Amino acid sequence: MINAIIDLFSNYTFQIVALGSIALGILTGVTGTFAVLRKQSLLGDSIAHSALAGITVAFIMTGTKNTEILLLGALIAGLLATFIINSISNNTRINFESAMALVMSVFFGVGFILLTHIQKMPDSQQAGLERFLFGQAATILQRDVYFVIGVTLVVVVLMILLWKEIKVFSFDPIYAHSIGLSTQFLNIVLSGFIVAAIIMGIQMVGVVLMSALIIAPAVAARQWTHSLTGMTILAAVFGAISGLGGTIVSSLINKFPTGPAIVVIASSIVIISLLFAPGRGIINKGMRQHDAKQAFEADMAIINLLTHQLLDIDAHFTKEQLQEACIIDHHREGKSFDRLFNNLKKRHMVERVDDSMYFKLTRVAKLEYEQNRGDQL
């Protein structure tokens, strides 16, 4: 297995595809961060699906499968779709989400109709256009990779230069406008970043799955940090890991396409983040809720026992006597009482008196009672 991986990393084709996938992952991670924060995740989907119309129109007009020309068509279609979406949402009563869904459906429908028409043409020039649906990373060339890296560097540099303005605009566009920032310009810049990322990734991932690569790294990064800078960096890292991991998986598993493999890895990172991230992770939240429930049960048990005078504050008592008091007050017995008793000991509210069979309430329990009842013991 190790030898296979070493041979894999020595393969020139793998190096080219892996480098391109890593650069694409960084680009989509960085740009997707602001799409997620601005709640415009569907914008990437709309632009990606709209690009198919641009690709097919470019082929019909030129009759060539030159990648640069087809991607230029995709770029024009993506920018046009973005302009139409913003125009509809700004000048009509249709909200932004509905405008995105409408434009995506129309552009993708037109693109699919034209693709079907192209495939029925008698010549063989049209063969291979369907690769833009799901991507075909193996077809990318060294110049394509360098182009992706160049676009990634340009986007990252521009983002660093406009970092403060973009940050303010993303969180509060009204405030950004009030302090003199051009919100229209910043909106165009961020939309342009997303369009650039999608156009760069269409050849490798395809129009159908491209939106997932825009959203997934940012969503995963959001679970691990509260900092915008940290989220952006983490999203870039997760995107790079997805690109490299997907390339490795597709190379080791026969007939496993690279584009879907990259998306599967990215989705796996999202699932892991949703489950295990500290603070926001489902498991971590569940543990905190469980601890809070146990703390509440312990506090209420002590408060009720003391309030109803079923237990004296300074008395020594056996476990059985405590259980009898709990049965009277809470109807707790068996496993329910054992869980409560262990919880009281865990929270240092009950402690054993020397080495005897007796227990007593600790100062922690007394303080809890004072805070909740307002009584001085």
Q: Is the pLDDT assigned to residue 331 strictly greater than 70? A: no
Q: Is the pLDDT assigned to residue 145 strictly greater than 70? A: yes
Read off the pLDDT band of 1 (50, 70, 90): low
What CATH number does domain 2-279 carry, 3.90.650.10, 1.10.1060.10, 1.10.3470.10, 1.10.1740.10?
Answer: 1.10.3470.10
Higher pLDDT, residue 294 or 97: 97
Predicted TM-score (pTM) above 0.75: yes
Q: Is the pLDDT assigned to residue 152 strictly greater than 80? A: yes
Do the two domains 2-279 and 284-373 of this chain adopt the same fold?
no
185 contact partners, CB below 8 Å, separation of at least 6: none
Domain ranges within the chain, ordered by starting residue: 2-279, 284-373
Higher pLDDT, residue 185 or 355: 185
Query: In this predicted model, what pLDDT tens digit does every residue of 75-118 receive, in sequence order?
Result: 999 999 989 998 998 888 888 888 988 998 999 899 889 888 88
Instruction: Extract the tokens encoding 369.
Output: 């009672």
Per mean pLDDT, which range of 20-34, 119-133, 252-266 is the poorest? Answer: 119-133
Q: What's residue 308's pLDDT?
A: 60
Q: What's residue 216's pLDDT?
A: 94
**Beta-ladder partners of 360:** 351
d(CA 183, CA 174): 9
d(CA 13, CA 68): 20
Q: Mention the CATH class of domain 284-373.
A: mainly alpha
Indicate the SS3 state at residue 362. Answer: coil
Q: What's residue 157's pLDDT?
A: 96
pLDDT, average across residues 1-19: 80
Percentage of the chain with pLDDT > 90? 31
Q: Is the pLDDT assigned to residue 328 strictly greater than 70? A: no
Percentage of the chain with pLDDT > 70? 91
Query: Cβ distance 221 to 231 under 8 Å?
Result: yes
Higher pLDDT, residue 196 or 256: 196
1 contact partners, CB below 8 Å, separation of at least 6: none
d(CA 126, CA 117): 10
